Amino acid sequence: MAKSKTAFVCGECGAEFPRWQGQCSECKEWNTVSEIRLAPATSSSRNARFSGYAGLQENKVQTLNEIAMTEIPRIDSGFRELDRVLGGGLVPGSAILIGGNPGAGKSTLLLQVMCGLAGRMKTLYVTGEESLQQVAMRAQRLGLPRDRLRMLSETSVEQICHVAREEQPAVMVIDSIQVMHVADVQSAPGSVSQVREAAAQLTRFAKQQGVVILMVGHVTKDGTLAGPKVLEHCIDCSVLLDGAADSRFRTLRSHKNRFGAVNELGVFAMTEIGMKEVSNPSAIFLSRGEEQVTGSVVMVIWEGTRPLLVELQALVDYSQLANPRRVTVGLEHNRLALLLAVLHRHGGMQMADQDVFVNVVGGVRVEDTSADLALLLALVSSFRDRPLPKELVVFGEVGLSGEIRPVPSGQERLTEAAKHGFTRAIVPWANRPKHAPEGMEVIPVKKLEEALAAL
């Protein structure tokens, strides 16, 4: 029997190292590197691993233009938002990871997708977390057709592959990858080595059989469960279903996509009858009336790995109190004090006798300093009682001497704003784009006075 090998892998970013180290030199996280035992590579599995779409093509060297391209039609999932995020539907023979916090609605969404697909093709839903009865009851409650979808309750990858070879589904769901285990790997299900090997085997199976495999993966901050980051190397698409706990809206984004662009945004709403598509997402994040009001501005903040458009509101009003109130919701209190001082000193606006209330709409928490400039302009707008243009977005950090400092990913922020129909942007000078997004007027500013003048 071949000797099993070990490797050291970071649980956050999936980087591999020859020996253990306290800090991952790729993503700079501490204590995330752990030893994993790789399954002994048999010669057949080694071949399959390196030949990619094994079984579909021979292993010989060809030039690009000699390669026969057969247009494989994509499978329409029945959800336009999901198809768009995946780049236009499910590609046969691909492995797709659906990540998200527990309770985000991954199982619900996939159950709805699969029940819809079952009428058109062979499907298999493998559940390792919930019992078959639980899934059946949910399907009944959601009013989904239950007569075609094939169900299997199983956590052994070998067994799943065996059943799938007989069932020959075109699309299958693995819910979830964290509870799956491979016989060759000794460690517990959910550990980095198990998750990696299970995903690798299932991906290989998808490619060999030409079946679409949708894998569910839970995202957790602590290292006990392997985050989907570890898997991103082997799968074709990784999408994340995300949503605030107190909000019924869920966003779906791709972080890796071999068959389309990343950064596509899909929006769903969790209702009593399952997940519903939201066709006009900017309407909910920026749910503003037609009428333009004072003290309201839309900013582009950076959330994790992506831009997000959020509305910020400020209300500045004359105070009867000896100590005027300073209230912030969704923003840091000290940041407001700092910006009021800057506004006084460098903008010549005295708000010491005013109550100031600041609110980030939609329950979003902003930790990003790129909200500074938006907050300043919202304060000025409310103080002066002059509404800001509706089609304006703002981002930028404000320094203590009134200078507007650059923030990371300026271009992506502008692209995101343009996608949502904004046509004007006030941005830090250093973030001015070489090519502004089409139809957008970008006003770069260096100092606070310039920003105020731009209004």
Q: Which residues in this chain contact Mg ion in the complex, by CB under 5 A?
A: 107
Positions 121 through 180 that interact with ligand TYD (CB under 6 A): 138, 142
Instruction: Specify the residue, 107 or 282, whose C-beta has the smaller distance to ligand TYD.
Output: 107
Instruction: Specify the residue, 218 or 335, whose C-beta has the smaller distance to Mg ion.
Output: 218
104 contacts which partner out of ligand TYD, Mg ion, none, CB within 5 to 8 A by kind? ligand TYD
C-alpha–C-alpha distance, residues 13 and 27, integer Å: 6
Neighbours of 389 (CB within 10 A): 12
C-alpha–C-alpha distance, residues 44 and 5, integer Å: 17
Instruction: Specify the residue, 245 or 321, whose C-beta has the smaller distance to Mg ion.
Output: 245
- Residues 52, 55, 88, 103: which binds ligand TYD (CB under 6 A)? 103
Window of 34-42, 96-104, 299-307, 358-366 that interacts with ligand TYD by CB under 6 A: 96-104
Name the strand (E) or helix (H) holding 111.
helix 106-118
Give the CB-nearest residue to Mg ion. Answer: 107
Instruction: Specify the residue, 52 or 102, whose C-beta has the smaller distance to ligand TYD.
Output: 102
Q: Please say whether the beta carbons of 239 and 252 come within 8 A.
A: yes
Instruction: Specify the residue, 117 or 331, whose C-beta has the smaller distance to ligand TYD.
Output: 117
**Which of 16, 9, 41, 31 lies closest to 185, judged by CA?**
41
- Least separation, in Å, of the C-beta of 29 and ligand TYD? 25
Instruction: Specify the residue, 52 or 103, whose C-beta has the smaller distance to Mg ion.
Output: 103
Q: Under the criterion CB under 6 A, does residue 108 sit at the interface with ligand TYD?
A: yes
Q: Under the criterion CB under 6 A, does residue 102 sit at the interface with ligand TYD?
A: yes
- Least separation, in Å, of the C-beta of 158 and ligand TYD? 24
C-alpha–C-alpha distance, residues 231 and 234, integer Å: 6
- Residues 11, 87, 89, 100: which binds ligand TYD (CB under 6 A)? 100
- Least separation, in Å, of the C-beta of 141 and Mg ion? 15
3-state secondary structure of 37: strand
138 contacts which partner out of ligand TYD, Mg ion, none, CB within 5 to 8 A by kind? ligand TYD
56 contacts which partner out of Mg ion, ligand TYD, none, CB within 5 to 8 A by kind? none
Sign of CA dihedral 46, 51, 54, 58: negative
**Contact characters 357-396, ligand TYD, x per CB under 6 A:** ----------------------------------------
Q: What is the DSSP letter of 64?
A: G
Instruction: Specify the residue, 106 or 390, whose C-beta has the smaller distance to ligand TYD.
Output: 106
- Residues 32, 107, 294, 354: which binds ligand TYD (CB under 6 A)? 107
Name the strand (E) or helix (H) holding 45.
helix 43-51
- Least separation, in Å, of the C-beta of 105 and ligand TYD? 4
Q: Under the criterion CB under 6 A, does residue 250 sit at the interface with ligand TYD?
A: no
Which residue bears the tokens 């977005």? Answer: 393
3-state secondary structure of 341: helix
Instruction: Specify the residue, 52 or 102, whose C-beta has the smaller distance to Mg ion.
Output: 102
CA distances from 445 to 47, 288, 389 (A): 57, 26, 17
Instruction: Specify the residue, 277 or 403, whose C-beta has the smaller distance to ligand TYD.
Output: 277
Instruction: Specify the residue, 99 or 295, whose C-beta has the smaller distance to ligand TYD.
Output: 99
- Residues 58, 66, 71, 272: which binds ligand TYD (CB under 6 A)? 272
Q: What are phi and psi of 131, to 5 degrees?
A: -80, 165
Please provide the DSSP assignment of 372-423 as one string: HHHHHHHHHHHHHT-PPPTTEEE--EE-TTSBEEP-S-HHHHHHHHHHTT--
Q: Under the criterion CB under 6 A, does residue 104 sit at the interface with ligand TYD?
A: yes
User: Judged by CB under 6 A, how many residues of this single chain contact ligand TYD?
Assistant: 14
281 contacts which partner out of Mg ion, ligand TYD, none, CB within 5 to 8 A by kind? none
Window of 62-70, 265-273, 388-396, 414-422 that interacts with ligand TYD by CB under 6 A: 265-273
Q: Looking at this protein, which amino acid is placed at residue 207?
A: K
Sign of CA dihedral 136, 140, 143, 147: positive
392 contacts which partner out of ligand TYD, Mg ion, none, CB within 5 to 8 A by kind? none
C-alpha–C-alpha distance, residues 268 and 266, integer Å: 7
Instruction: Specify the residue, 107 or 294, whose C-beta has the smaller distance to Mg ion.
Output: 107
Please provide the DSSP assignment of 181-230 as one string: B-TT--SPTTSHHHHHHHHHHHHHHHHHHT-EEEEEEE--SSTTSPPGGG
Which residue bears the tokens 């391209």? Answer: 69
Beta bridge mates, 268: 250, 277
Binding site for ligand TYD (CB under 6 A): 100, 102-108, 138, 142, 270, 272-274
